[in-house]
Structure formats: structure tokens, C-alpha cells
Amino acid sequence: MSLLLFPREELTALAERMLGATGLAEHAAELVAESLVDADRRGVASHGLIRLPIYIERLRKGMVDRTAVPTVKTSGARAGVDGHNAMGALVASEAMGVACALADDYGIGTSVACHSNHCGTMGFYARRAATKGYLAVAMSNAPVTMTYHGGRTRAVGTNPLAVAIPRPAGSPVVLDVASSAVARGKIIVAERKGESIPAGWGVDPDGRPTTVAAEALEGAVLPFAGPKGSGLALVIDVLCGVLAGAASGPDIGDMYENWDRPQNVGHVFLAARLTELLDRYGPALEEFLQTVQDVPAAEGFDSVLLPGEPEERAAQLADRRGVPVVASTWTELCALARELGVEVPVGAPELSSS
């Protein structure tokens, strides 16, 4: 796999200019660009700049409202956020921020968002809250692309969940998982590279196990741990769809396949203010985390890593040598940038295949 390395700021600025060329407001463009580049920076290419072309296509075709501004209604420690079909990153950032503001007043705050769109990784929003001293939970429903345990065809989304725990010092613990065996974006990446996928990731349109990425994209992704992933996906869709006033199940517009209606994705965010408690619970937390990390490494592993630690290491490496972008993705971005009349930076030397 050929990779190119770029300074984080260079990629972010390019994404902002490309989004801005569609007429998207500057603030929204900044949020979207930051979320995409941060995913690549953390080694999560499935939710990185590979998504920028489809975001831009939906903006240009009017499937996302480039001028929409989310509105908020609060009641005590709860808030409802109507995204009005704005970019998902704008809606999610607003909703996470509202939950944190409510936590400042009530100790804990929750927000539910409707009429949103794909917003990238949920860990992006939970992590940002945790770095400010909040315990954060973020979840979203997604288009139906996953089977339900015991079923043969698509039934639910790969609905993701993220939990971020602040620490007195250092990076927060961040669990960010899809309810599927793997994020569907990773299958998209494999298909773009012409690579096969591991058994257990997906099934073909007839419900038969497959290692061909294109067949899995036409068929369905499998849930993690069978009934556990299926059940988690169902619960998240109830919270983010049914109870949030957003679409749910097959009513959610697919970002790649549905061009007749908005996505109407729903999100739920929770924040608990722990700033004043860090001194009290911090030592016990660090002791517990160290106990986990002190477990002898199994064969094939160098050490035990905490949730979010691999991504944090990838981010630190990217900050030193550059953010990696798959060469084929970069080629696509350059072509799209020129079409939009946006100047592209000169690529860094190519890395060896990996």
C-alpha cells in the first residue's frame, strides 16, 4: 500500500478550501476538515479524507444544506438539537458542546440530535470533551448495512459508540467502536485498494460469507460477537433514531446509495463534569489502568494497550513525520480539487509499501 505523508495543517487547509469551494460556511468547513484529517492522523483511514469526495458530492447535489445552522432547545439538563440537514460534524460538535455546557450547570448533561448527516468518528467528539475534563459518551445511528444475528440480509446500521474518560495527566481513555465486526469504511478502503477482507467481516448479497470486499459492500457487514453487536446496534438506533426524532432503520438515507432524500441521522451525547473530581479519583484510576497494562503480553503482542492508545500513538507519529494518506485517495482528492478550482500542495515522498 503506497502512502504519502503531509503536514497536518496542510491537509486540513486543503480540505477546508475544497469544502469552502462548494459554498459551505467557513466554520462548518473547519470542523469537517478537522474531523477527517484527525481520523487519518490517528490511523483510522476509513473515516478520514477518503470520505471527503462523497461529502462534497452530497453538498454539490443539495443533499446536505450548506447554509443550515443547528438550533437548540433545552429543558433542564437535557437538550434537543435540530441539525436542519447541516453537515454532520457541525451538528455533532454543537450537540457535544451543548451537553458539556449543561454538565457545567447540572453536573451531567445530555443532548439528542436529529436531521444530521454522517459525522465521522464518534471518538473525535468524545475525546475533545474528555480533554476538557468531561466524561463523555457519543453515539450515532447509521444507514442499514449490517445483518442482525441470525439474519441473512441488511437489518440495522453499524451504529457506533464512543466513551472517553479524562485522566489527571496524559491522553484520555477513548473507546470508539462500531457495533459491526469492523467499520464498513474499512471494507470500502479494502475495495479501493483491491484487497481481500478477512473472513467474518461480511456476507455477499445472498447472505453467504465472503472475503471479497465488493461483495460485502453489496451484501452486508456482520455484527461483532453475533447477538451482542446486533443488540447494541438495535439499542443505539432506538436512542438515536426513534427517541431522538431522527430516521431509524431503513429510513436512514445511505450516504453513497440514496440521492432522493437527506440522511436524517440521529446522535446522542452525554457529558459528566469531572473536573473537580480528578484529584479525588485520578490516583485510583491510574492505579487501575496500570494494573491492566501490567498484565503479561500474550504471544504476538508487545504490550497491553488501553482503549485509544494505538490511535494516540499513531497521532504522535503523524505529528512528527506527517499524516499518511493512501496514494489512490490522494490522486482522487487532487482531481477533485482541480475540478473545484482549488490549488493542491506538492506531495511528500512516497513511503515503502505496507
Q: 68-180+224-276 architecture in CATH? A: 2-Layer Sandwich (3.30)
Q: 1-61+323-354 architecture in CATH? A: Orthogonal Bundle (1.10)
Contacts of 133 (CB under 8 A, 6+ apart): 166, 273, 274, 275, 278
Average pLDDT over every residue of 291-318: 97
Is-contact 189 166, C-beta < 8 A? no
**What is the DSSP track for 192-217?**
HHT----TTSEE-TTS-EE--HHHHH
Sheet holding 202-203, edge to edge: 154-157, 144-147, 220-221, 202-203, 209-210
Average pLDDT over every residue of 46-74: 98
Q: Is the pLDDT of residue 347 over 60?
A: no
Indicate the pLDDT class of residue 59, thresholds 50, 70 and 90.
Answer: very high
Q: Is the pLDDT of residue 346 over 80?
A: no
Average pLDDT over every residue of 97-120: 98
- Tell me what the pLDDT averaged over the chain comes to: 95
Task: Return the pLDDT at 275.
Answer: 83
- Share above pLDDT 90 across residues of the chain, in percent, rounded to a whole number: 89
The span from the CA of 217 to the CA of 182, in Å, is 12
| Domain spans of the chain, in order of start | 1-61+323-354, 68-180+224-276
The span from the CA of 326 to the CA of 50, in Å, is 9
Is-contact 258 138, C-beta < 8 A? no
Alpha helices in 107-223 (DSSP H): 122-130, 184-193, 213-218
Give the 3-state secondary structure of 229-295: HHHHHHHHHHHHHHCCCCCCHHHCCCCCCCCCCCCCEEEEEEEEECHHHHHHHHHHHHHHHHHHHCC
Find cell 498484565 and name the residue: 295
Q: Comparing C-alpha atoms, which of 210, 236, 176, 205 is closest to residue 35?
A: 176
Residues 13-56: pLDDT tens digits?
A: 999 999 999 999 999 999 999 999 999 999 999 999 999 999 99
Instruction: Return the ∠ at Cα 329 (arms to 325 and 331), rounded to 5°.
Output: 110
Q: What are the φ/ψ torsions at residue 26 (nearest 5 degrees)?
A: -60, -45
DSSP secondary-structure letter at 181? S
Average pLDDT over every residue of 238-251: 98
How do 323-326 and 3-6 pair as beta strands? antiparallel
Task: Return the pLDDT at 348.
Answer: 52
327 vs 78 pLDDT, higher one: 78
Instruction: Return the ∠ at Cα 55 (arms to 49 and 57), rounded to 5°.
Output: 120
CA atoms within 13 A on the CB side of 273: 15
Residues 182-222: pLDDT tens digits?
A: 988 889 989 988 899 999 999 999 999 999 999 999 999 99
Average pLDDT over every residue of 114-139: 98
Is-contact 122 142, C-beta < 8 A? no
Indicate the pLDDT class of residue 169, thresholds 50, 70 and 90.
Answer: confident
Cell numbers of 32, please? 469537517
Is-contact 232 159, C-beta < 8 A? yes
Provide the greatest CA pair distance for the chain.
Answer: 55
Cell numbers of 227, please? 447477538
Task: Return the pLDDT at 352.
Answer: 43
DSSP secondary-structure letter at 223? B
